Amino acid sequence: MRKYAIGIDIGGTNTCIGLIDEFGDCVAETSFKTAPFAKADDFLVKVADETQAIINDNAIEILGVGVGAPNANYYSGLIEFAPNLPWDGIIKIREFLSQKLDRKVIITNDANAAAIGERIYGGAKGLNDFLMITLGTGVGSGFVVNGALAYGHDGFAGELGHTIIDPDGRKCACGRCGCLETYCSATGVVRTIKSFLSESNEESILRNIDLNKIEAKDLSLAAKQGDKLSIEIFDYTARLLGLSIANAVAISSPSHVFLFGGLSSAGELLLTPLKKWTEHYMLNIFKNKVKIELSQLPNNKAALLGAAALIFDDCK
Ligand SMILES: [Zn+2]
């Protein structure tokens, strides 16, 4: 008998709920806007109702419900002070959903869920030590060490995006300066584009784009056409990300690093300089041992698969 789990991906803009089988097929799916709910309690009722509707419609028994959400804490079952969600404070999501649905509920942040998704459905099958880096609106990460996702003593382990790479660097949304995220997230790359354009007189395709509308994907398009300044920006970004990966490798010694989302869609434009800089900064005992690869999760379903994978991973 095929096994099923519910995956729920809660984002600042949309919330998606999917019925996923053990092979990664999404059997049914629904989504709605996150923001219109004035109170977190109203939002939770909607999540529970939509989830129950999917279970009823498909008349399938599920193993449990996995939730990936910003600042979701695996241990406490709470979403705590998530800056990208419209509600302040603490949201008791696990308690609410497990009571309402009468099912096992596991929650964690979206990058950790992506790491487990990679292990169950993607390129990390059979790997015991790897690092997942999600390059999106922010920079997230999940560290799998000795076969288990590292949650740390408080459930928040693996915040590579908020490790400081320059104490005098750019202001970060977390209130500090110089976090990796301020350079390698989609908005970080846009900041780099603007500073390169203002500090250089070099001709560039990027100069034809309205600076207020410029996006990270414009950089890939320009670099693919051989735009020199765009290629320099990729190199600059890859150097900082490579530095962070080399530091992370020294801590947890992964065999693989997977990249997902945003900038990773640039493929070799990012990978080639990233591999060069990672090796450049790598401690000699780790040199030429760590593979850097793109995630094998399908882009449009990765968050749902990751959330559902929390349940399948737990049942192994
Ligand atoms: Zn930060």
**Is the predicted pLDDT of residue 84 greater than 80, yes or no?**
no
Q: Report residues near ion ligand 1: CB below 5 Å.
A: 162, 172, 174, 179
Query: What counts of helices (H) and strands (E) characterise the chain?
Result: 9, 12
pLDDT of residue 65: 98
> How many whole angstroms from 140 Cα to the centroid of ligand 1?
11
> How many whole angstroms from 78 Cα to the centroid of ligand 1?
21
Percent residues over pLDDT 90 in the chain: 86
pLDDT of residue 137: 84
pLDDT of residue 261: 87
> How many whole angstroms from 83 Cα to the centroid of ligand 1?
12
Percent residues over pLDDT 70 in the chain: 100
> How many whole angstroms from 133 Cα to the centroid of ligand 1?
15
pLDDT of residue 81: 86
**Which range (121-125, 222-226, 260-264) has the least confidence?**
260-264
> How many whole angstroms from 179 Cα to the centroid of ligand 1?
5
The mean per-residue pLDDT over the stretch 1-8 comes to 94
Per-residue pLDDT tens over the stretch 194-207: 999 999 999 999 99
Cβ neighbours around 109 below 10 Å, total = 26
Tell me if residue 246 falls in helix, strand or coil: helix
> How many whole angstroms from 62 Cα to the centroid of ligand 1?
38
Per-residue pLDDT tens over the stretch 127-173: 999 999 999 888 999 999 999 999 999 998 999 999 999 999 999 98
C-alpha neighbours within 13 Å on the C-beta side of residue 130: 27
> How many whole angstroms from 18 Cα to the centroid of ligand 1?
31
> How many whole angstroms from 134 Cα to the centroid of ligand 1?
15
> How many whole angstroms from 161 Cα to the centroid of ligand 1?
7
The mean per-residue pLDDT over the stretch 83-88 comes to 84
> How many whole angstroms from 43 Cα to the centroid of ligand 1?
28
Predicted TM-score (pTM) of the model is 0.93
pLDDT of residue 299: 78
b vs e for 54-84, b when ≥16 Cβ sit within 10 Å of the residue's Cβ? bbeeeebebbbbbbbbbbbbbeebbbeebeb
Highest mean pLDDT among 55-59, 187-191, 259-263 belongs to: 187-191
**Is the predicted pLDDT of residue 83 greater than 80, yes or no?**
no
The residue with greater pLDDT, 261 or 286, is 286
Report the DSSP pairing between strands 65-68 and 105-108.
parallel
CB 8 within 8 A of CB 65: yes
pLDDT of residue 17: 97
pLDDT of residue 298: 87
> How many whole angstroms from 178 Cα to the centroid of ligand 1?
7
